Structure 1
Amino acid sequence: MKSEDSKGNEIENDFKPLEITSSRTAEAPGPNVGAECCSLDGRTKQAGAEEHEEAGEEAKSSYVPTAISLSLLLAGILLDYLDTPWFTGYVRLIVYGIAYVLVGWRVVWHAIKSIRSSFFNEFFLMSIATMGAFYIGQFAEGVAVMLFYVIGEHFQEAAVLRSRRSIKALIDNRPDEVRLVTENGIASVKAKTVQVGDVVQVKAGEKVALDGELLTDRSSFNTAALTGESKPDTKMKGETVLAGMINLDRVIELRVTSGYENSALSKILQLVEEAGSRKAKTQQLITRLAKVYTPVVFFLAVSLTFIPYFFVEGYDFNQWLYRALVFLVISCPCALVISIPLGYFGGIGAASRNGILFKGANFLDLMTQVDTVVMDKTGTLTEGVFQVQRVEALLEDKTWFLSAVAAIERASTHPIAKAIAAEAASSLRHTARKVEEISGHGLKGEVDGRQLLVGNGKLLEKYGVLYDPSVKDIVETIVLVAVDGSYAGYITIADKIKEDAPLAVKKMRELGVKRLVMLSGDKDTIVQQVAGELQLDQAYGGLLPQDKVSHVEELKAEGRTVAFVGDGINDAPVITLADVGMAMGGLGSDAAIETADVVIQTDNPARIATAIDIGKKIKQVVWQNITMAFAVKAIVLILGAGGLATLWEAVFADVGVAFLAILNAVRIQRMKFK
């Protein structure tokens, strides 16, 4: 069947689709890494998160017949080498026959079942090639082809399970039981039975099982499983704590805000599982190519068997059939259809360990083509919270100045007032009296018997206080202060640039991003200042959501491949429009997870560069595998046609190359990214 992803890319899949909650993908296939390849155990390939352990045990049980078959093959080869008198005729056939059946029966059975849907597939080719080897008396080679083919399958299964388990172990080892706070005390209950609104207790050192609101005053949490960050994150009362975080400080209580299956962690797991099914264009290309070149090689093998009859003197049917069998074995595209999906799945796993969630392998490919990155300012390149930037006091006692202003500002709930109060929190030792708010202007009050005016220029002008007019040219938000009727200084407030924002810009340029653009709804002077500090190519301020859409449309009209990075809520229209929509810090945001193609779980803009780097390195590995597979197969095909290659070389060209490609794909798990 075929469907389309959110970017219009065709998805081709042989299995029944599973429903996905994402609003951007109405229908998409379930996880089926390597589904088109020669899978002997479809259940292992399609196993969901809850079936991994069962699938792993079932895969291990299939190793026993493989081991017995290998022992019989080695024993048979040894007896042939020693020219043992009794190891002939039916005895020899029975030994090799048992070795063949132990590993080959599933392949032959799949070949029979798949005749209706696809005559030319791996199962059919392997069955014909090995049975042909038995027909011409090459028993050992026939068994070897099937045996090493199955061993290659075992390596593939182990690699897929290893990738899945590494992800699962990383982010989904939540406790099955939680301590529920009830009127009668603490009760241990199953986490899945806890309802939204219930209160649960989490001890120090324990992993949080459910999303919730912190009821305790404060505590620190290890968020590495969710964000990839090892630095503890301190949460205050009323803030959200997510499943998967580890409580570090003290016994805490949480009011549950999401059920077990709807937690942020469950959504992450679901995204990782489903991501493997959304194919990159490289995967789609190889799948289509394999469906064409496999029957072509099959008919070439048939031609190689019979056409020489008309041109070669002393034509030997068995000799030319043997060469054709070499052709058939080599034609199996296992190295491609196994290693390529595995490479992309490994990339998705590596990204998740770096705090980045790709919704599909197709977005890994798209990241390699991105030449323009457009970013929102607030929450993406800046912290998104007001902070005091500068304190300029004309008074001799500058500490008193800040403390006195903060005492006045404590009476206000305005974000600017909160920022000043927070800045002076450690030195706040004064109490304000007679505080009065002048609407649209600021505050006035009394501290230590001195009269203070704290606000904008209009406030000071209202009370006839003269101040330096040059302060009007200051870019940041400014708070003017007068003490006892005289101008006493000012405090500037601004949104702080994130620590790793300059590093993010540097890395993106190193990775080949040609244009960096910032779009923001903030005032243009502030936007231009931030853009100048970060050395961005373009910046536009004072924009509405529709204005951002217009700018991205213009960039796309220029033929650019655009990635947009925003908060996933206000920027949802632009995220949807971009070639790659990225949600920054969207871990707990349903809108971010629903809308974005790539979710960066932390607030670190440097992860944008990491996402690009992961995409580029995955593509390198994939094309390495493609080049190696085609090169080796081409060489052995030519040698086989000339009678210079045996089935043993064919085994290497097929299973051996597949094994090397799998090892190369698994290498992704240990790569380091920018």
Structure 2
Amino acid sequence: MEASTTIEESSNGWKSHWELLLAIAILFAMLTLEYGFDYVPAFPFSLIIYGSAYLLAGYNVLYLAWRKAIRADFFNEFFLMSVATIGAFAIGSYSEGVAVMAFYSIGEWFQDAAVDKAKRSIKALLDIRPDQVTVLRADGAQTVNPKEVKTGETIQVKPGEKVALDGELLSEKASFNTAALTGESKPDTKGKGESIYAGMINLNTVAVVRVTSLYQDSKLSKILEMVQDATARKSQTQLFISRFAKVYTPIVFALALLVCFVPYFFVETYVFTTWFYRALVFLVISCPCALVVSIPLGYFGGIGLASRNGILFKGSNFLDVMTNVNAIVMDKTGTLTEGIFKVGEVVAEGIDKQELLSLTAALESQSTHPIGIAVVEHVGKDTIKDVSATNVEEITGHGLKGTVLGKQVLAGNTKLMKKFSISYPHEIDAIVYSIVVIAVDKKYAGHIIVADKIKEDAAQAIAQMHTMGIKTVMLSGDKTAVVKEVASTLSIDEAYGDLLPEGKVEKVQALKDSGMRIAFVGDGVNDAPVVALADAGIAMGGLGSDATIETADIVIQNDQPSKIVTAIKVGKLTKKIVWQNIILAMTVKILVLGLGAGGIANLWEAVIADVGVALLAILNAVRIQRIKL
């Protein structure tokens, strides 16, 4: 019996509850007459009254049992309940037969409500795409459905509105709430030219955005698809329980038959109805509904909890994988560092520091190299708007040469200085980070250190991984010296630089061959092969490439390394709750099965035990959705 089938089929029939409530009312009235006034209607009136209540309470169960029976599927909870209750009617235990069906249906009612809530909470969390958008066209502003907007068109987002489509900000500046994508509600200020994603909420000013992706291709649409697909992908625990139920249920049927007939050969005063009744008790308590519903519900809750923390698991199976990971392999740029070069230290010699920066920025403004862009951004375009560079020449692999304010300026690496026979302090050669060496009028004038800033929570994340006993490894295509420096700063166990994509694959494969369970975290296109190779591939979804996000098993939406630890915690918490439910259900069932076979427990006690265990398991599974990490 597949857990997902049980959920899907059982949730189709309990949408209206008046029939069940009426059945319970009839049962309560009949029990009051029987035990309060010592009055039992004569046959066949008692059969008609109880039979009506039975059908009102259990027609859904009977229908599903029949549907499965015609497909030769007899070993399921619906068929089990039908046999047990019809058997109770056959021996005249009408009230107990109705009670078993009514309480079972109440349990299904609660199960369906819990499952629906879990599904709704996941969908509501992410499916926040607005159904209209303001498009700025030649004939004025138009309000249309986002599906009608084409790439290249311009949309307007007012304060308080949700962004409907991915795009590029055309306004100078705007602040957004990115909680739907990242799990972080703090404002994120974007500047002109930066990427804006569907699901963000504009906070304080009218924003104009040029659309870069169609509605169905937006990052939020892809996230929603990931989460919807995730609920269909089963974990190893779910698969185990599904296989277990297929074996467990026929065994229970066989044991029930043995309970009914074997005593005939050993008991002198064998009474068929007595042992048949005990077999019915055995069948009722053996119903595996608590397992097959509460377990997938626990995983739904785990996926929802992760989503609220800005982590998207593409399948519940990856929740289990993260609990077994003992090595985290990470890319450097964009994963542990921000992926954006920033000016760190400025050293000037024989020249004012601000003048050095101004001359260098004017020259670098003619370049598209990331390091040059970082220098220009540090100085500010407004500062150099009246300072222009002429006769600019790019010397491949070395740097730039040009004239600024009548002075000959060189800006590049040490090879550029050597090329023009300009002496410079030799300690510069020992600097591991990227460096811009500047010469003015053929004389060394200073240097600028440009580095990729380490993310704020990177050190905390690595420390927590070590606390969990997880080995940390960093792989990067950057210079080995830079990689070693970052690794030393963060206390990473192993680090390797100057790696091509195939080099990263070799390193990860070697770790796997040594028996390690690996999660790889990356963000670039070159990381996609390694993400696919790892036991769990994790993509940084904010700045990450589409190829890596598509390949990854887990997506971290806000690019924070600390979310890797959160993903592990969610996996372990989910697994803990699921196994609590398994142990609880099996312990109670084994106990009451023994009592039922020995004639100590009756049908009332069996159904209360079964429904009680199911409700406790459901409540325990639902609890995960409210936990704060």
TM-score range, shorter chain: over 0.9
Choose which of 409, 412, 415 in structure 2 pairs with 1:455.
412
Tell me the equivalent position of 1:504: 461
**Alpha carbons of structure 1 residues 299 and 587: separation in structure 2 relative to 1, 3 Å:** farther
Please give the alpha-carbon distance, in whole angstroms, between the structure 2 residues aligned to 1:467 and 1:630: 76
Within the alignment, does 1:220 sit opposite 2:175 as a pair?
A: yes
Find the partner of 2:145 among 190, 195, 206.
Answer: 190
Structure 1 runs not aligned, ≥5 long: 1-12, 15-33, 44-57
1:37 and 2:37 equivalent?
A: no
The CA deviation string for residues 423-475 of structure 1, in whole angstroms up to 9 with x for no partner, is 22299368435543351444456667766543333444455543211110110
Question: What corresponds to 2:231 in structure 1?
Answer: 276
User: Cα distance, 1:653 vs. partner?
Assistant: 2.8
Q: Contact 2:523–2:543 at 8 Å: present in 1 too?
A: no
Alignment of structure 1 residues 369-408 onto 2, 5 Å:
369-394=324-349, 397-408=352-363
Q: Report the alpha carbon displacement of residue 169 of structure 1 after superposing the two structures with TM.
A: 2.0
Alignment correspondent of 2:606: 650
The change in CA–CA distance for 1:448 and 1:189 in structure 2 (over 3 A counts) is closer
State the AA in 2 paired with 1:37: T
Q: Is the contact made by 1:407 and 1:428 (CA closer than 8 Å) also made in structure 2?
A: no
One-letter code of the match for 1:253?
Answer: V
Provide the residue aligned with 2:273 in structure 1: 318
Q: Residues 147 and 40 (structure 1 numbering): CA distance in 2 closer, same or farther, change over 3 Å?
A: farther
Alignment partner, residue 436 of structure 2: 479
The residue number in structure 1 matching 2:451 is 494
Distance 1:42 1:617 in 2: 27
- The equivalent of 2:319 in structure 1 is 364
Letter in structure 1 aligned against 2:207: I
Find out whether 1:622 has 2:578 as its counterpart. yes
TM superposition shift of 1:586: 5.5
Correspondence for 2:215: 260
- What one-letter code is carried by the residue in structure 2 that aligns with 1:191? P
Letter aligned with residue 218 of structure 1: K
Q: Secondary structure at the match of 1:475?
A: coil
Q: 1:543 aligns with which of 485, 492, 499?
A: 499
Are the aligned partners of 2:33 and 2:39 in contact in 1 as well (CA < 8 Å)? no
The answer to whether 1:162 aligns with 2:117 is yes
Rounded to whole Å, the distance in 1 between the matches of 2:403 and 2:238 is: 71
Secondary structure of the structure 2 residue equivalent to 1:384:
strand
Using the TM superposition, name which of 411-420 and 150-159 deviates more: 411-420
1:525 equivalenced with 2:498 (yes/no): no
Residues 198, 88 of structure 1: CA spacing in aligned structure 2 closer, same or farther, 3 A cutoff? farther
Q: Deviations over 1:584-630 (max 9, x none)?
A: 12677431332111111121111111111111111111111110011
1:584–1:38 distance in 2 versus 1, CA, 3 Å: closer
CA contact (8 A) 1:69 1:99 kept: yes
1:128 alignment partner, SS class: helix
Identity %: 57
What TM-score comes out, normalization by structure 2 length? 0.94
- Any idea what SS the aligned residue of 1:532 has? helix
Change (3 A) 1:224 1:241: same
Distance 1:193 1:252 in 2: 20
How far did residue 397 of structure 1 move? 4.5
Tell me what 1:96 maps to.
Answer: 50
Q: How does 1:395-474 map to 2 (within 5 A)?
A: 397-425=352-380, 428=383, 431-435=386-390, 436-437=392-393, 439-440=395-396, 441-443=398-400, 452-474=409-431
Q: Distance in 2 between matches of 1:485 and 1:197?
A: 48
Range that drifts further, 585-594 or 295-304 = 585-594
Question: 1 CA distance for matches of 2:140 and 2:430?
Answer: 61
Question: Structure 2 vs 1, CA of residues 426 and 189 (structure 1 numbering), >3 Å: closer, same or farther?
Answer: closer
Q: 1:212–1:257: 8 Å Cα contact kept in structure 2?
A: yes
Q: Kindly state the Cα deviation for residue 270 of structure 1 after the two structures are TM-superposed.
A: 1.3
Return the offset for 1:371: 0.8
Distance 2:577 2:369 in 1: 53
Per-residue CA shift, 1:382-402, capped at 9, x if unaligned? 111111121223458444443
Q: Give 5+ residue unaligned stretches, structure 2.
A: none
Tell me the equivalent position of 1:67. 21
User: Aligned runs of 1:511-590 on 2, under 5 Å?
Assistant: 511-513=468-470, 515-567=471-523, 569-585=525-541, 589-590=545-546
Instruction: Tell me how far 1:40 sits from its aligned partner.
Output: 5.0
SS state at 2:180 partner: helix
Name the residue aligned to 1:605: 561
Amino acid at match of 1:94: I
**1:662 shift after superposition:** 0.8
Shift of residue 196 of structure 1?
3.1
Code of the aligned partner of 1:76: M
Counterpart among 136, 156, 165 of residue 181 in structure 1: 136
**Cα separation, 2, equivalents of 1:434 and 1:563:** 48
1:203 aligns with 2:158: yes
Q: Is the 8 A contact 1:562 1:578 kept in 2?
A: yes
Distance in 2 (CA, whole Å) between partners of 1:275 and 1:483 is: 60
Matched, 1:341 2:288: no
Distance in 1 of aligned mates of 2:118 and 2:200: 22
Call closer, same or farther: CA 1:433–1:124 in 2, change over 3 Å: closer
Work out whether residues 501 and 529 of structure 2, in 8 Å CA contact, stay in contact via their aligned partners in 1: yes
Rounded Cα–Cα distance in structure 2 between residues aligned with 1:463 and 1:573: 42
**Residues in 1 aligned to 2:60 and 2:361: alpha-carbon distance in whole angstroms:** 77
Q: How many residues align?
A: 626
* Contact kept in structure 1, 2:336 and 2:561, CA below 8 Å: yes
Alignment partner of 1:571: what SS?
Answer: helix
Paired AA for residue 95 in structure 1: I
Contact 2:303/2:316 (8 A) holds in 1: yes
Q: Is the 8 A contact 1:563 1:580 kept in 2?
A: yes
Matched, 1:632 2:601: no
Let me know the Cα RMSD of the aligned residues. 2.3
The answer for the alignment partner of 2:35 in structure 1 is 81
Aligned to 1:592: 548
Letter of the structure 2 residue corresponding to residue 508 of structure 1: M
What amino acid maps onto 1:109 in structure 2?
Y
> TM-score with structure 1 length normalisation?
0.88
C-alpha deviations, 1:324-379, integer Å up to 9, x for none?
A: 11100011111111111111111111111111111111111111111111111111
Query: How do 1:106-145 residues align onto structure 2 when only pairs under 5 Å count?
Result: 106-115=60-69, 116-145=71-100
**Superposed CA offset, 1:54-111 (max 9, x none):** xxxx85x422212222222222222222125464444433332222111211111211
Q: Say if 1:433 and 1:311 are closer, same or farther in 2 by CA, change over 3 A.
A: closer
